Structure 1
Amino acid sequence: MGLTGARPGVTGDSTSLPAPRSDTRVPPSSPQIEDRGVDPTPSTDRPTHCAPPMPAHTDVLEQRLLADPRLLREIANAVGGPFHVLFPERVSGNITAFQSVFTESGVDGFVYFGKKANKAACVARACAHSGAGIDVASTGELVAALGQGVRGEDLMVTGPAKSDELLWLAARHRSLIAIDALDELDRLAALELPVRVLLRVLPEASTSRFGLDPMELEQAIQAIAAPITLSGFSFHLSGYDAVARAEQAAALVGHCRRARANGHPAETISIGGGFGVDYLDAATWAQFQNTVEDSWFHTNPPGDYYPYHFPVAGAAMLAAILAHNGLAALLRDNGIRLAIEPGRALLDRAGSSVFRVQGVKTRTVQGNPYDILTVDGTSLSLSEQWFDSEYLPDPVLWPQSPGHRTPTCVGATTCLESDLLSRRRIPLPRRARTGDLLVYPNTAGYQMDSNESPFHELPLPPKVVLRAGADRPRWSLDSTAR
């Protein structure tokens, strides 16, 4: 399954950019795709050699950005290349939704943002402002979280074979450390510092390389002594099964009871992340799944896809977990705090990726013309493309105007044949022109950070922070881009 993946400090909202060129022509030797103004084709009809439309759910602030006649162009002019836009207010709203589920369920719960999903400073700052912690797995992530105001005791340190530096820094800041191997306990003990730990449990029948098996778990419980405190247990599951998470959480309550019998407080369990995100409506996703054809793709179609429609997503999935077999009551009755570590779900509709069209050429498949765009970035900025998959939500062609529906795939500005942002032929509402912008929606979760690389010595796309204003949105560069 696909995963879910330096600019000067420029700030402003009034810089102008000349309008995009409208005189781009298809070379005479290329098959022509006419741009006739209003598309006469009914919305239910489309060329057979392209995919159906797959518009994404979007945040209100993104809708305002796309509707503004100048703002995107102003940002593109100031940045001078591809960029990512982030909406931290949406992050705060997603955090609040999870926190509300805990409150409504009467469960003592705490949200840790899985920082690997996005490096932006504005996201970590939103966590600090919203009373959320951060799940970190490196000294860099830990320092970045502290730098945005998240307190050390609100950090959870995860990951395998943690470095001595990370363990020392985490202990100094009183962070909660998820122990993945017995030697980590030995190295923590050698520090002689007070430290709180969770023991990461290897789920039964799991082939994961992470976590402690039953024998290691028992050894760890027996070995833990002051100044190390056993605060509880954790686990991580692949996939997005709410029932499996609820049942594994109930098993960890049993671990807490047994640890308490040995004198440990064991008051916390963490169920990790894996909270689904709903990118597309049910009908769109069903149509794609039921009718997908090789003929929709410029090159070989992907082998697998993220579940882009998720009927019980995000905070609603947490509510389903707590409701299964009375888990909420079990946690309350045993005085146990439930920790969660969502990444993608806290970034749902919290950002987009913007590319400028640098070139347009036309090709044919079985006599049918379609366009291949070249944009000023790479597919490393859409991490899904690098996992034998495809990022399915359609990009928005900006500026938005009437036109003739045009099957279009999107290539990157590199010399790699496989470097395509969209292999499938998307039915853009009009022909793209050099200078137009393509806005890929809902990319904040993993897409814009997981595989970024300055390949060809191209600069990494900077992150732009967009906030609501009284009259129009206001933007600035994220501190990671300065």
Structure 2
Amino acid sequence: MAVTDRAGGWPALPALADPAADAVLASGLLPELAYAFGGPFHFLLPDAFDANLRAMQDALASAGVDGFVYFAKKANKAAVFVERAAAGGAGVDVASASELREALGHGVRGEHLVVTGPAKEAALLRLAVQHGALIAVDTPDELDALAALAARAPAGGTRPARVLLRCLPPTQPHSRFGMTEAELDTAMERCLQAGEAIRMEGFSFHLSGYALQPRADLAARLVELCLKARAQGLEASRISIGGGLPISYTDAESWNSFLAEHDSRYYHAEKTFQPGDFYPYHSPDAGPDALAALLATRPQGHAGHLADLLKDAGVVLLLEPGRALLDRAGATVFRIQGVKERDGYRLLTVDGTSLSLSEQWFNSEYLPDPVLLPQDPGGTDGLYPASVGAATCLESDMLTWRKVGFTRRPRTGDLLVYPNTAGYQMDSNESPFHDLALPPKVVVDQTDRPRPRWRMDRHFS
């Protein structure tokens, strides 16, 4: 995507080049859509999703690993990504009955669903069993509930519950996800007692963070658990390592320079952030490359790479990326409603809220520089620092506390395009606060035309 220049040495965080998004920006389509919707909106680039999925599948094949990719639906509610997952031979990771029904309705086969999340509601468990979805079981009690569901089914009705037992990461003992070693032993015993009602297919984990070594270490532990479970008579043929594959929004030099220059004077109201709370906006191994690097990582205490362990044990690797499948798959557009002059910078107010750009829950903000699309292509170049606030009555409702160094003067009516927002940014925190409409999603199917073709996303709810 077109990026903000590093004018006058002002701290910047330019997004990586994105020809597909650049084509949309250059087409003149966005001002027309902003006029039509009368508020902020998102545009989606599903071809990028397709490319990311193929690259993930290629990384598994190149390492000789039998694996399967699930799209983590929580990362974006758009229907088009579920449709593309089904068409691309992937599954979908869901955590609610609504998400499960949405995935089924958009073409995902029941056996290609994995159900995650803690303390799942009875309706979700019932649907998952009926459709043959794989279920990551978080507690022994949840396993008992599944066994009871299957036992109550009429003859020839509900199929056995397919389960993975979720492990509590030893390195994150305070995580609210997963079972302790003692609970796992209890769960495996109950799987045996349940007989044909439960088909125990392996283990899974939820691990926070993006470091590859801890993920490889825990994956190796799950392989060992599979071998232990097999010795007890359980199937245990697969493990799920969740998501956590980082992507790069910017280049290494820009990211390192930004962190070095990070200072409260570059933020509205001298707001302070801890650099450790920021997402790692650059990673040396990103997306499919991160998966390849993970498979080539040697788990602690093992002589071979993770890929070797999986192949030797005959274990299938399942993964549930969200952000990594959505890299460069969309952007978010706001219109500037007002410009207020401050001492040495400007405060822009846009026609939406920060709830459509979701980093607040990490005590952070979305850092890649927004792109300014001026109504009037004329004007002079210069340095025009500006922060971006929302159209609400909340002092803290800021899309960008950071003073972005625009190289053109922002004016009322201009558009701001936040790049690469498809992964978690678009709808994780969305809210119709002040009765403002939720930003619609526009699918841009063809960016190689003089005028890109677009349609509304077909999300059911």
TM-score, normalised via structure 1 length? 0.87
SS of the residue 1:134 aligns to? strand
Matched-pair contact (CA < 8 Å) for 2:348–2:387: yes
Q: Which residue of 2 aligns with 1:54?
A: 13
Structure 1 counterpart of 2:345, one-letter code: Y
Residue among 298, 311, 320 paired with 1:332: 311
| CA deviation profile, 1:136-182 (whole Å, cap 9, x unmatched) | 00001111111111111000000000011000000000000000011
Q: Cα deviations across residues 78-131 of structure 1 (Å, max 9, x unaligned)?
A: 222100111111011111111000110110011111111100001111111111
Quote the Cα distance in structure 1 between the aligned partners of 2:460 and 2:182: 47
Partner Cα distance (2:23, 2:6) in 1: 24
Does residue 443 of structure 1 match 2:421? yes
Change (3 A) 1:61 1:203: same
Amino acid paired to 2:443: V
Q: Hey, what's the Cα distance between the residues in 2 that align with 1:432 and 1:283?
A: 27
Q: Which amino acid in structure 2 is aligned with residue 67 of structure 1?
A: A
Contact 1:58 1:441 in 2 (8 A): no
Name the CA distance, whole Å, in 1 between partners of 2:289 and 2:43.
26
Query: What is the rounded CA distance, in whole Å, between the counterparts of 2:178 and 2:312 in structure 1?
Result: 27
Whether the 8 Å CA contact 1:465–1:478 is kept in 2: the answer is: yes
Residues 1:260 and 2:219 aligned together = no
Residue 199 to residue 386, structure 1, CA distance change in 2 (3 Å)? closer
Q: Which residue of 174, 185, 199 corresponds with 2:143?
A: 185
Alpha-carbon contact 2:71-2:321 (below 8 Å) kept: yes
**Which of 353, 366, 371 matches 1:391?**
366
Deviates more, 1:53-62 or 1:245-254: 53-62
Q: Which residue of 2 aligns with 1:33?
A: none
Amino acid paired to 1:423: W
Of the candidates 311, 318, 327, which is equivalent to residue 284 of structure 2?
Answer: 311
State the partner residue of 2:199. 229
Q: 2: distance between equivalents of 1:273 and 1:58?
A: 25
The 5 A counterparts of 1:117-136 are 117-136=75-94
Tell me if 1:159 matches 2:117.
yes
- Residues 1:357 and 2:323 aligned together: no
| Structure 2 Cα separation of the partners of residues 154 and 128 of structure 1 | 9
1:57 aligned partner, one-letter code: L
Q: Check whether the contact 2:443–2:457 (CA below 8 A) recurs between aligned residues.
A: yes
Q: Any unmatched runs of 5+ in structure 2?
A: 151-157, 299-304
Question: Cα offset for 1:44?
Answer: 5.5
Q: 1:335, CA displacement in angstroms?
A: 1.2
CA distance in 2, matches of 1:313, 1:236: 19
Please report how far the alpha carbon of residue 58 of structure 1 lies from its aligned counterpart in structure 2 after TM superposition: 4.2
Partner of 2:153: none
| Off by >4 Å, runs of 4+ in structure 1 | none
CA contact (8 A) 1:119 1:449 kept: yes
1:201 equivalent in structure 2: 167
Give the aligned residue type for 2:396: S
Which residue number corresponds to residue 277 of structure 1? 247
Query: Which residue matches 1:301?
Result: 272
Q: CA deviation at 1:204?
A: 1.6
**Distance of 2:322 and 2:59 partners within structure 1:** 17
Q: Where does residue 45 of structure 1 map in the other structure?
A: 8
TM-score normalised to the size of structure 2? 0.91
Shift of residue 386 of structure 1? 4.3
The SS at the match of 1:339 is strand
CA-atom RMSD, angstroms? 1.5
3-state SS of 1:475 partner:
strand
- Percent of matched pairs sharing the same residue: 56
Aligned residues: 432
Deviation at residue 43 of structure 1 after TM alignment: 5.1
Q: Mind listing any 5+ residue stretches in structure 1 that lack a counterpart?
A: 1-41
SS in 2 for 1:383: coil
Counterpart amino acid of 1:147?
Answer: G
